């Protein structure tokens, strides 16, 4: 993965919204999905999933989540402070944080959300909570579904093309 980083490859992948450049398809997807792109302010993990799911009726990479209406929002309060552990404890995974806002940021990150995506290689079976996670998985070539260069070439079909999802 280091050989595929910006150090060796440069920043060749252009954001279809703000025209900034990223080194990898996963980096571009993360940029868009986390709301970091100033020109894609309305794009969130949920809106991206809905868009991709609507263009993936066969479920090539998206999980068919009946009844899913969006990400769950959590909020911790003063009761989350654990005196014995001297910090704010996540009631889902029991990690401890030094400040309440940091715990709340953790609670509302994708870490405790439902898996929206799965590897298109059915033998692999891995699932992912964010699109950047599955793109990173495909870039790693760990399951052999796609070559790194193919992911880089095809990323605009996933995040910015009119013919979304052409794996």
Which tens digits make up the pLDDT trace of 89-98?
999 999 999 9
pLDDT greater than 90 at residue 102: yes
Using a pLDDT cut of 70, give the percent of the chain over it.
87
Using a pLDDT cut of 90, give the percent of the chain over it.
50
pLDDT greater than 60 at residue 164: no
The tens digit of pLDDT for each residue in 62-89 reads 999 988 889 888 999 999 999 999 999 9
pLDDT greater than 80 at residue 157: no
Reported as a pLDDT band with limits 50, 70 and 90, residue 5 is: very low
The answer for residues whose C-beta is within 8 angstroms of residue 66's C-beta and 6 or more apart is none
Main-chain phi, psi angles of 164, to 5 degrees: -60, 145
Task: Report the half-sphere exposure of 116 (CA within 13 A, side-chain side).
Answer: 27
Q: Do residues 13 and 28 lie in contact, with contact meaning Cβ atoms separated by under 8 Å?
A: yes
Buried b (16+ CB within 10 A) or exposed e, 83-99: eeeebbbbeeeeeebee
Reported as a pLDDT band with limits 50, 70 and 90, residue 167 is: very low
The tens digit of pLDDT for each residue in 26-72 reads 999 999 888 889 998 888 899 989 988 988 999 999 999 988 889 88
pLDDT greater than 80 at residue 159: no
Which contiguous run of DSSP H or E holds residue 81? strand 81-82
Token readout for 45 is: 């993990």
pLDDT greater than 70 at residue 7: no
């Amino acid at each position: 993965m280091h050989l595929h980083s910006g150090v060796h490859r440069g920043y060749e992948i252009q954001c279809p919204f703000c025209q900034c450049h990223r080194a990898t398809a996963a980096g571009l997807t993360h940029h868009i999905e986390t709301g970091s792109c100033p020109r894609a302010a309305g794009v969130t993990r949920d809106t991206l999933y809905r868009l991709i799911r609507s263009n993936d009726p066969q479920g090539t990479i998206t999980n068919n989540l009946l009844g899913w209406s969006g990400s769950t929002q959590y909020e911790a309060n003063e009761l989350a402070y654990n005196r014995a552990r001297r910090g704010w404890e996540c009631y889902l995974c029991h990690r401890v944080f030094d400040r309440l806002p940091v715990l709340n940021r953790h609670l509302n990150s994708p870490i405790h959300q439902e898996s929206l995506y799965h590897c298109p290689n059915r033998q692999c079976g891995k699932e992912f909570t964010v699109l950047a996670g599955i793109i990173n998985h495909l870039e790693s070539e760990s399951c052999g579904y796609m070559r790194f260069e193919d992911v880089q070439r095809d990323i605009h079909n996933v995040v910015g093309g009119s013919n979304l999802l052409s794996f």
